[in-house]
C-alpha cells in the first residue's frame, strides 16, 4: 500500500526563516525545517510534500487540492491565521485531519495574534515549540490515521 500523503503548508514570510526576527523564530531556515519534516515523515512511514507561499489565494488552492490528494494536512498559516475567513472556510471544507502549527507561542505575543480563524477548522493546534511543533504534528497525524485505519 502507498504511504499516506501529508501536505505541509507554510504561509507568508516563512520563506524568510533564519533571517526574520531570529529572536522569535530562531536561526534555522525553511530548508532546515522541510528536511526535519521529511526525515520525521520517513521514520513514520508517511509520504510528505512541503510548500510555502506568500499568497493567500495560493494557500487556499493548495488546501482545496489537499482535499483530493492528501490523508492529512499540517499548516502554519502565519499572518493569515489572524485575518483569513477565506482560508478558514477552505479548511472547513476539507474532511482530513488538520494540525495548525505556530513556531512561536502566539498567546504570549501581541493580542491580535491570540485569535486564529484557522483554529476553528483545525483538529489540533500546536504553538510555541519551534520546529519541534511540526515533528509533533506529524506524529499526531500518524496516530490519527492509524486510529482511522483500525475503525
Ligand atoms: C507564526 C505566528 C504568526 O502570528 C505570525 O504572523 C507568523 C508566524 C508562527 O509560526 O509563530 O508569521 O505563525
Per-residue pLDDT of 63-95, as tens digits, reads 999 988 999 999 999 999 999 999 999 999 999
- State the 10-residue block means of pLDDT for the chain, 151 residues long: 94 96 94 98 98 98 95 98 98 97 98 98 98 98 93 77
Gap between the terminal Cα atoms of the chain: 18
**pTM score:** 0.97
Ligand 1 contact via 75 beta carbon (within 6 Å): no
In whole angstroms, give the CA distance from residue 18 to residue 22. Answer: 6
| Distance (Å) from CA 2 to ligand 1 centroid | 33
Ligand 1 contact via 83 beta carbon (within 6 Å): no
Closest residue by CA, ligand 1 atom 6: 79
Average per-residue pLDDT for the chain: 97
Mutual orientation of helices 85-92 and 56-69 as an angle, nearest 10°? Answer: 0
In whole angstroms, give the CA distance from residue 33 to residue 134. Answer: 8
Closest residue by CA, ligand 1 atom 1: 78
Amino acid at each position: 500500500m502507498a504511504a499516506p500523503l501529508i501536505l505541509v503548508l507554510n504561509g507568508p514570510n516563512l520563506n524568510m526563516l533564519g533571517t526574520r526576527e531570529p529572536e522569535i523564530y530562531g536561526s534555522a531556515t525553511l530548508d532546515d525545517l522541510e528536511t526535519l519534516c521529511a526525515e520525521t515523515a520517513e521514520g513514520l512511514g508517511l509520504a510528505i510534500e512541503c510548500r510555502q507561499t506568500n499568497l493567500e489565494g495560493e494557500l487556499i488552492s493548495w488546501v482545496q487540492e489537499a482535499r483530493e490528494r492528501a490523508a492529512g494536512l499540517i499548516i502554519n498559516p502565519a499572518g493569515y491565521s489572524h485575518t483569513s475567513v477565506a482560508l478558514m472556510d477552505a479548511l472547513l471544507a476539507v474532511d482530513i485531519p488538520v494540525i495548525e502549527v505556530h513556531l512561536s507561542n502566539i498567546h504570549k505575543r501581541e493580542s491580535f495574534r491570540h485569535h486564529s480563524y484557522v483554529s476553528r477548522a483545525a483538529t489540533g493546534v500546536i504553538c510555541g515549540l519551534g520546529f519541534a511543533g511540526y515533528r509533533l504534528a506529524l506524529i499526531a497525524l500518524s496516530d490519527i490515521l492509524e486510529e482511522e485505519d483500525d475503525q
